[in-house]
Amino acid sequence: MADSPGARTRRQAAAVAKQVPEKSLMNGHANGSVNGSAHSRNSTTRPETSENIFLFYPNIIGYSRIVLALASLYYMPLHPRTCSLLYSVSCLLDALDGYAARYFHQSTQFGAVLDMVTDRCTTACLLVFLSSAFPRWAILFQGLISLDLASHYIHMYATLSMGGSGQSHKKVDESRSKLLHLYYTNKTVLFVFCAFNEVFFIALYLLSFSSPMLSPSLLPTDKTPGSSAQPGNPSHPASTFFATPGSAWAMELARANKMDSFWPWVIAGVSFPVMAAKQFLNVVQLVKASKWLAEGDRAARAEQGLPKKTK
């Protein structure tokens, strides 16, 4: 018996209604899978950020230290007060860049190297001037420059080659050296040693302009035994650099040579023991780093079957 047109229409409508939810469910499942996978990928893949390491706050402070150090070097043979102020501020900023690196989470290997290189260069430049100001002690100042550079370079190299590229030179294991561990891990000890070391050399610098005991050329007469006309020495006549003896340079030099040497002597006496201890630590650091490198050399030679036994 054939269905009536109305009955066929009702069955077709029911079939269509049944298929629509199934297709919708399938499409929804498919879209959900695609969107879900895309969401999963987006949640696990972070957008790449291009950070300019050179413009991190502690590194900007490091650049400021370099500018101040260069300015202090310019004034070093001319204006002892100005030079001492600029040099001291540059040294004090050494503590600020470390604080900024921790506060802003911007500790970088570039910043650590920049900080160390700036320290070594500024101290070396000051010691070079002291070598010219006190020629009799030049070999001592040259030795201090060499010790400072060699100690820190070998220590840095040993840390990178033996401890790994991500290892900081300030992370010294206590088993290797308790003194170096205390020096690098205790921020107070590190600051005091570095500050007093620089303060001692600054005091010597001021004494080269104020103490006839250390610089006989500061005595009133130019015929004083031991006087020197070497450029860079406070006694060097201003007319050598400027035709007019009454120039600003000569006036500042005359004022500088009348500096009272009392406080520079006091500062030098107080800071000398800490400076001597700092040089001792440099020797310890040099020896420990050399032994660490030698351990690595022995291990590498053992892996290569060296030394070969001779029959």
Predicted local distance difference test score (pLDDT) of residue 127: 97
At residue 311, does pLDDT exceed 80?
Answer: no
Predicted local distance difference test score (pLDDT) of residue 19: 52
Instruction: State pLDDT tens for residues 30-56.
Output: 444 444 444 444 445 555 578 999 999
At residue 218, does pLDDT exceed 80?
Answer: no
Q: pLDDT tier at 232 (50, 70, 90 boundaries)? A: very low
Predicted local distance difference test score (pLDDT) of residue 214: 77
Mean pLDDT of 155-159: 93
1.20.1420, 1.20.120, 1.10.287, 3.30.1490: CATH of 53-216+239-289 = 1.20.120
**Where is pLDDT greater, at 260 or 73?**
73
Which is nearest to 259 in space by CA: 131, 79, 33, 128? 79
Mean pLDDT of 101-124: 94
Active-site residue, from 3, 119, 148, 222: 119
Q: How far apart are CA 17 and CA 103, in angstroms?
A: 65
Predicted local distance difference test score (pLDDT) of residue 12: 53
**How many other β-carbons are positioned within 10 Å of the β-carbon of residue 298?**
11
Instruction: State pLDDT tens for residues 88-108.
Output: 999 999 989 989 999 999 999
At residue 59, does pLDDT exceed 70?
Answer: yes
Q: What does the H/E/C string look like for the chain? A: CCCCHHHHHHHHHHHHHHHHHHHHHHHHHHHHHHHHHHHHHHHHCCCCCCCCHHHCHHHHHHHHHHHHHHHHHHHCCCCHHHHHHHHHHHHHHHHHHHHHHHHCCCCCHHHHHHHHHHHHHHHHHHHHHHHHHCHHHHHHHHHHHHHHHHHHHHHHHHHHHHHCCCCCCCCCCCCCCHHHHHHHHCHHHHHHHHHHHHHHHHHHHHHHHHCCCCCHHHCCCCCCCCCCCCCCCCCCCHHHCCCCCCCHHHHHHHHHCCCCCHHHHHHHHHHHHHHHHHHHHHHHHHHHHHHHHHHHHHHHHHHCCCCCCCC
pTM of the model: 0.74
Please, are residues 72 and 83 in contact by the beta-carbon 8 Å criterion? yes
297 among known catalytic residues = no
Q: How far apart are CA 86 and CA 70, in angstroms?
A: 9
Q: Which of 86-90, 122-126, 169-173, 221-225 has the lowest mean pLDDT?
A: 221-225
Predicted local distance difference test score (pLDDT) of residue 275: 97
Q: Which of 79-88, 182-191, 207-216, 287-296 has the lowest mean pLDDT?
A: 207-216
Please, are residues 58 and 94 in contact by the beta-carbon 8 Å criterion? no
At residue 265, does pLDDT exceed 80?
Answer: yes
Query: What is the token pair recorded at 94?
Result: 């050494």
Q: Name the most confidently modeled range: 137-146, 157-166, 247-256.
A: 137-146
- Domain limits of the chain? 53-216+239-289
Average pLDDT, the chain: 80
**What are residue 272's phi and psi, to 5 degrees?**
-60, -45
Mean pLDDT of 206-222: 72
